Protein backbone atom coordinates (compact mmCIF):
# COMPACT_ATOMS: atom_id res chain seq x y z
CA UNK A 1 0.00 0.00 0.00
CA UNK A 2 1.16 3.57 -0.65
CA UNK A 3 -0.19 4.77 2.76
CA UNK A 4 -1.84 7.83 1.21
CA UNK A 5 -4.89 6.78 3.21
CA UNK A 6 -3.29 6.28 6.66
CA UNK A 7 -4.63 3.24 8.57
CA UNK A 8 -3.94 4.98 11.87
CA UNK A 9 -7.03 7.10 11.20
CA UNK A 10 -9.27 4.05 11.58
CA UNK A 11 -9.43 4.42 15.36
CA UNK A 12 -10.56 8.04 15.03
CA UNK A 13 -13.08 7.03 12.37
CA UNK A 14 -14.38 4.31 14.69
CA UNK A 15 -14.80 6.89 17.44
CA UNK A 16 -16.67 9.19 15.03
CA UNK A 17 -18.93 6.29 14.05
CA UNK A 18 -19.75 5.53 17.67
CA UNK A 19 -20.34 9.18 18.58
CA UNK A 20 -22.68 9.85 15.66
CA UNK A 21 -24.36 6.40 15.66
CA UNK A 22 -23.57 6.18 11.95
CA UNK A 23 -23.20 3.12 9.76
CA UNK A 24 -20.71 4.64 7.33
CA UNK A 25 -17.84 7.06 7.98
CA UNK A 26 -16.30 8.21 4.70
CA UNK A 27 -13.00 10.09 4.47
CA UNK A 28 -13.12 13.49 2.76
CA UNK A 29 -9.87 14.77 1.29
CA UNK A 30 -9.17 18.34 2.39
CA UNK A 31 -5.69 18.37 0.88
CA UNK A 32 -4.24 16.16 -1.86
CA UNK A 33 -0.48 16.35 -1.44
CA UNK A 34 1.76 15.15 -4.24
CA UNK A 35 -0.88 15.41 -6.98
CA UNK A 36 -0.68 17.62 -10.03
CA UNK A 37 -2.90 20.64 -10.56
CA UNK A 38 -4.48 18.86 -13.53
CA UNK A 39 -5.50 15.84 -11.46
CA UNK A 40 -6.88 17.99 -8.64
CA UNK A 41 -8.91 20.12 -11.07
CA UNK A 42 -10.29 17.17 -13.03
CA UNK A 43 -11.18 15.27 -9.84
CA UNK A 44 -13.03 18.27 -8.41
CA UNK A 45 -14.88 18.84 -11.68
CA UNK A 46 -15.75 15.15 -11.99
CA UNK A 47 -17.39 14.89 -8.56
CA UNK A 48 -19.43 18.05 -9.06
CA UNK A 49 -20.56 17.07 -12.54
CA UNK A 50 -21.49 13.58 -11.35
CA UNK A 51 -23.56 15.04 -8.50
CA UNK A 52 -25.59 17.09 -10.99
CA UNK A 53 -26.14 14.12 -13.30
CA UNK A 54 -27.19 11.45 -10.81
CA UNK A 55 -30.09 11.15 -8.40
CA UNK A 56 -27.85 9.49 -5.80
CA UNK A 57 -26.18 12.10 -3.55
CA UNK A 58 -22.53 11.03 -3.84
CA UNK A 59 -20.26 12.93 -1.38
CA UNK A 60 -17.74 15.30 -2.94
CA UNK A 61 -13.97 14.78 -2.81
CA UNK A 62 -14.10 11.26 -1.43
CA UNK A 63 -12.43 8.00 -2.36
CA UNK A 64 -12.99 4.42 -1.27
CA UNK A 65 -11.36 4.95 2.14
CA UNK A 66 -14.22 4.50 4.61
CA UNK A 67 -15.44 2.57 7.62
CA UNK A 68 -18.69 0.59 7.41
CA UNK A 69 -20.81 -1.25 9.93
CA UNK A 70 -21.61 -4.91 9.38
CA UNK A 71 -25.19 -4.29 8.27
CA UNK A 72 -24.12 -1.56 5.84
CA UNK A 73 -21.44 -3.87 4.44
CA UNK A 74 -23.95 -6.72 4.09
CA UNK A 75 -26.32 -4.43 2.19
CA UNK A 76 -23.48 -3.34 -0.10
CA UNK A 77 -22.33 -6.90 -0.79
CA UNK A 78 -25.89 -7.96 -1.61
CA UNK A 79 -26.07 -5.69 -4.65
CA UNK A 80 -25.81 -8.09 -7.61
CA UNK A 81 -24.33 -5.81 -10.27
CA UNK A 82 -20.88 -6.59 -11.67
CA UNK A 83 -19.60 -3.15 -12.75
CA UNK A 84 -19.03 -1.61 -9.33
CA UNK A 85 -18.45 2.07 -8.64
CA UNK A 86 -17.92 1.57 -4.92
CA UNK A 87 -18.28 5.11 -3.63
CA UNK A 88 -21.54 5.51 -5.53
CA UNK A 89 -22.94 2.16 -4.42
CA UNK A 90 -22.17 2.88 -0.77
CA UNK A 91 -23.98 6.20 -1.08
CA UNK A 92 -26.94 4.43 -2.72
CA UNK A 93 -27.56 1.91 0.10
CA UNK A 94 -28.47 4.72 2.49
CA UNK A 95 -28.07 4.38 6.27
CA UNK A 96 -26.61 7.24 8.27
CA UNK A 97 -23.32 8.36 6.73
CA UNK A 98 -21.01 11.03 8.14
CA UNK A 99 -17.86 12.65 6.69
CA UNK A 100 -14.40 12.44 8.21
CA UNK A 101 -12.11 15.20 6.85
CA UNK A 102 -8.40 14.47 6.58
CA UNK A 103 -5.31 15.62 4.70
CA UNK A 104 -4.10 13.08 2.17
CA UNK A 105 -0.33 12.69 2.25
CA UNK A 106 2.04 11.96 -0.60
CA UNK A 107 2.81 8.44 -1.70
CA UNK A 108 5.57 6.80 0.31
CA UNK A 109 6.55 4.37 -2.44
CA UNK A 110 5.75 3.39 -5.99
CA UNK A 111 3.88 5.24 -8.67
CA UNK A 112 0.21 6.00 -9.08
CA UNK A 113 -1.99 3.19 -10.37
CA UNK A 114 -4.45 5.69 -11.79
CA UNK A 115 -3.11 7.08 -15.07
CA UNK A 116 -5.31 9.27 -17.25
CA UNK A 117 -6.80 6.33 -19.16
CA UNK A 118 -7.88 4.60 -15.95
CA UNK A 119 -9.34 7.83 -14.59
CA UNK A 120 -11.42 8.23 -17.76
CA UNK A 121 -12.62 4.63 -17.43
CA UNK A 122 -13.60 5.28 -13.81
CA UNK A 123 -15.53 8.38 -14.86
CA UNK A 124 -17.43 6.41 -17.51
CA UNK A 125 -18.24 3.66 -14.99
CA UNK A 126 -19.55 6.24 -12.54
CA UNK A 127 -21.69 8.12 -15.07
CA UNK A 128 -23.13 5.05 -16.78
CA UNK A 129 -23.68 3.25 -13.48
CA UNK A 130 -25.58 6.02 -11.71
CA UNK A 131 -27.05 8.25 -14.40
CA UNK A 132 -29.14 7.91 -17.55
CA UNK A 133 -28.54 11.55 -18.46
CA UNK A 134 -26.32 10.69 -21.47
CA UNK A 135 -29.19 8.70 -22.96
CA UNK A 136 -31.43 11.77 -22.65
CA UNK A 137 -28.99 13.93 -24.60
CA UNK A 138 -30.63 12.96 -27.90
CA UNK A 139 -34.05 14.05 -26.62
CA UNK A 140 -32.70 17.43 -25.53
CA UNK A 141 -30.90 17.87 -28.85
CA UNK A 142 -34.10 16.99 -30.70
CA UNK A 143 -36.09 19.59 -28.78
CA UNK A 144 -33.40 22.20 -29.44
CA UNK A 145 -33.38 21.46 -33.17
CA UNK A 146 -37.18 21.63 -33.20
CA UNK A 147 -36.96 25.14 -31.75
CA UNK A 148 -34.41 26.12 -34.39
CA UNK A 149 -36.63 24.78 -37.17
CA UNK A 150 -39.62 26.72 -35.83
CA UNK A 151 -37.60 29.94 -35.74
CA UNK A 152 -36.42 29.28 -39.28
CA UNK A 153 -40.01 28.66 -40.38
CA UNK A 154 -41.11 31.96 -38.84
CA UNK A 155 -38.27 33.74 -40.64
CA UNK A 156 -39.29 32.24 -43.98
CA UNK A 157 -42.98 33.01 -43.40
CA UNK A 158 -42.27 36.65 -42.52
CA UNK A 159 -40.12 37.02 -45.62
CA UNK A 160 -42.83 35.52 -47.82
CA UNK A 161 -45.60 37.70 -46.33
CA UNK A 162 -43.52 40.86 -46.62
CA UNK A 163 -42.79 40.17 -50.27
CA UNK A 164 -39.03 40.08 -49.80
CA UNK A 165 -37.10 37.47 -51.70
CA UNK A 166 -36.37 34.35 -49.70
CA UNK A 167 -33.24 32.58 -50.79
CA UNK A 168 -33.59 28.99 -51.88
CA UNK A 169 -31.27 27.59 -49.24
CA UNK A 170 -33.60 28.61 -46.39
CA UNK A 171 -36.33 26.14 -47.32
CA UNK A 172 -33.73 23.41 -47.76
CA UNK A 173 -32.25 24.18 -44.36
CA UNK A 174 -35.72 24.14 -42.82
CA UNK A 175 -36.41 20.63 -44.08
CA UNK A 176 -32.94 19.42 -43.07
CA UNK A 177 -33.12 20.82 -39.54
CA UNK A 178 -36.66 19.54 -39.01
CA UNK A 179 -35.78 16.01 -40.14
CA UNK A 180 -32.69 16.09 -37.92
CA UNK A 181 -34.88 17.12 -34.98
CA UNK A 182 -37.26 14.22 -35.62
CA UNK A 183 -34.38 11.75 -35.80
CA UNK A 184 -32.79 13.01 -32.60
CA UNK A 185 -36.12 12.92 -30.78
CA UNK A 186 -36.74 9.32 -31.87
CA UNK A 187 -33.23 8.38 -30.72
CA UNK A 188 -34.01 10.03 -27.41
CA UNK A 189 -37.14 7.92 -26.99
CA UNK A 190 -35.10 4.79 -27.72
CA UNK A 191 -32.59 5.98 -25.13
CA UNK A 192 -35.35 6.32 -22.52
CA UNK A 193 -36.40 2.71 -23.02
CA UNK A 194 -32.78 1.54 -22.95
CA UNK A 195 -32.25 3.46 -19.72
CA UNK A 196 -35.22 1.72 -18.11
CA UNK A 197 -33.97 -1.67 -19.26
CA UNK A 198 -30.51 -0.88 -17.89
CA UNK A 199 -31.87 0.13 -14.49
CA UNK A 200 -34.04 -2.99 -14.29
CA UNK A 201 -31.15 -5.26 -15.29
CA UNK A 202 -29.18 -4.24 -12.18
CA UNK A 203 -31.78 -5.92 -9.96
CA UNK A 204 -31.15 -3.56 -7.09
CA UNK A 205 -33.62 -3.88 -4.21
CA UNK A 206 -36.50 -1.44 -4.10
CA UNK A 207 -35.48 -0.40 -0.59
CA UNK A 208 -33.27 -1.41 2.33
CA UNK A 209 -34.82 -1.56 5.80
CA UNK A 210 -32.32 -0.16 8.26
CA UNK A 211 -34.32 -0.39 11.50
CA UNK A 212 -37.59 -1.94 12.61
CA UNK A 213 -39.57 -0.15 15.33
CA UNK A 214 -41.59 -2.16 17.78
CA UNK A 215 -41.26 -5.60 19.35
CA UNK A 216 -39.86 -7.15 16.16
CA UNK A 217 -36.20 -6.33 15.80
CA UNK A 218 -33.63 -7.56 13.35
CA UNK A 219 -30.85 -6.66 11.02
CA UNK A 220 -31.16 -4.66 7.83
CA UNK A 221 -33.23 -6.37 5.17
CA UNK A 222 -33.49 -5.88 1.45
CA UNK A 223 -36.75 -4.98 -0.24
CA UNK A 224 -36.75 -7.06 -3.39
CA UNK A 225 -39.99 -7.24 -5.29
CA UNK A 226 -41.95 -10.24 -4.12
CA UNK A 227 -42.85 -12.88 -6.66
CA UNK A 228 -46.61 -13.49 -7.15
CA UNK A 229 -47.87 -16.53 -5.28
CA UNK A 230 -50.72 -18.55 -6.74
CA UNK A 231 -53.63 -19.00 -4.35
CA UNK A 232 -54.23 -22.64 -3.38
CA UNK A 233 -57.23 -24.43 -4.87
CA UNK A 234 -59.89 -25.85 -2.61
CA UNK A 235 -59.18 -29.34 -3.92
CA UNK A 236 -55.55 -28.97 -2.81
CA UNK A 237 -56.43 -28.29 0.83
CA UNK A 238 -54.91 -30.68 3.40
CA UNK A 239 -57.30 -33.49 4.33
CA UNK A 240 -57.02 -32.58 8.00
CA UNK A 241 -58.65 -29.21 7.39
CA UNK A 242 -62.43 -29.10 6.92
CA UNK A 243 -63.39 -27.78 3.51
CA UNK A 244 -66.79 -26.17 3.13
CA UNK A 245 -68.13 -25.74 -0.39
CA UNK A 246 -70.79 -23.14 -1.14
CA UNK A 247 -73.73 -23.82 -3.40
Q: Give the pLDDT score at 76.
A: 83
Residues 15 and 117 reside in one and the same domain: yes
What's the domain range around 191? 133-201
pTM score: 0.57
Give dist(CA 90, CA 88) in Å, integer.
5
Q: Indicate the number of domains in the chain.
A: 2
Asked if residue 221 is part of any domain, the answer here is: no
Q: Quick one: average pLDDT of 16-32?
A: 82
Residues 57 and 23 reside in one and the same domain: yes
Residues 103 and 31 reside in one and the same domain: yes
Residues 114 and 45 reside in one and the same domain: yes
Q: For 109-142, how does the pLDDT look when each residue is reduced to its tens digit (9 = 90+)?
A: 556 666 667 777 777 777 777 777 777 777 777 7
Q: For 28-46, how does the pLDDT look when each residue is reduced to its tens digit (9 = 90+)?
A: 887 776 667 777 777 777 7
Q: Quick one: average pLDDT of 8-24?
A: 83
Q: Give the pLDDT score at 107.
A: 64
Give dist(CA 124, CA 127) in Å, integer.
5
pLDDT at 244 over 50: no
Q: Residue 214 contacts by C-beta under 8 Å, 6 or more apart in sequence?
A: none
Residues 111 and 169 reside in one and the same domain: no
Asked if residue 53 is part of any domain, the answer here is: yes
Q: Return the number of other C-beta atoms located less than 10 Å from residue 184's C-beta.
A: 19
Asked if residue 228 is part of any domain, the answer here is: no
54: closest CA among 88, 23, 101? 88
pLDDT over 70 for what percent of the chain?
Answer: 71
Residues 89 and 142 reside in one and the same domain: no
Domain final residue pick, 80, 111, 130: 130
Residues 122 and 168 reside in one and the same domain: no
Asked if residue 219 is part of any domain, the answer here is: no
Q: For 65-96, how does the pLDDT look when each residue is reduced to its tens digit (9 = 90+)?
A: 888 888 888 888 887 777 777 778 888 888 88
Residues 88 and 171 reside in one and the same domain: no
Residues 66 and 181 reside in one and the same domain: no
Average pLDDT, the chain: 72
Phi/psi of residue 48, nearest 5 degrees: -70, -35
Residues 159 and 120 reside in one and the same domain: no
| 139, 185 contact by CB (below 8 A) | yes
Residues 126 and 13 reside in one and the same domain: yes
Range with the poorest average pLDDT among 32-41, 198-207, 213-222: 213-222
Domain final residue pick, 90, 107, 130: 130
| 188, 136 contact by CB (below 8 A) | yes
Residues 124 and 31 reside in one and the same domain: yes
| 22, 16 contact by CB (below 8 A) | yes
Amino acid sequence: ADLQDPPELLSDMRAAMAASHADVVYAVRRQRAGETVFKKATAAAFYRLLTRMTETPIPLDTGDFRLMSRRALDAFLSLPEQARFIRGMVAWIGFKQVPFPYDRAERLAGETNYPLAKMIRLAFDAVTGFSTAPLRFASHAGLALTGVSLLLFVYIAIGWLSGSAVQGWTSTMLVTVFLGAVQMFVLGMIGEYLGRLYVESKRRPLYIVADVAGPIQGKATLGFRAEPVEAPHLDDAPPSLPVQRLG
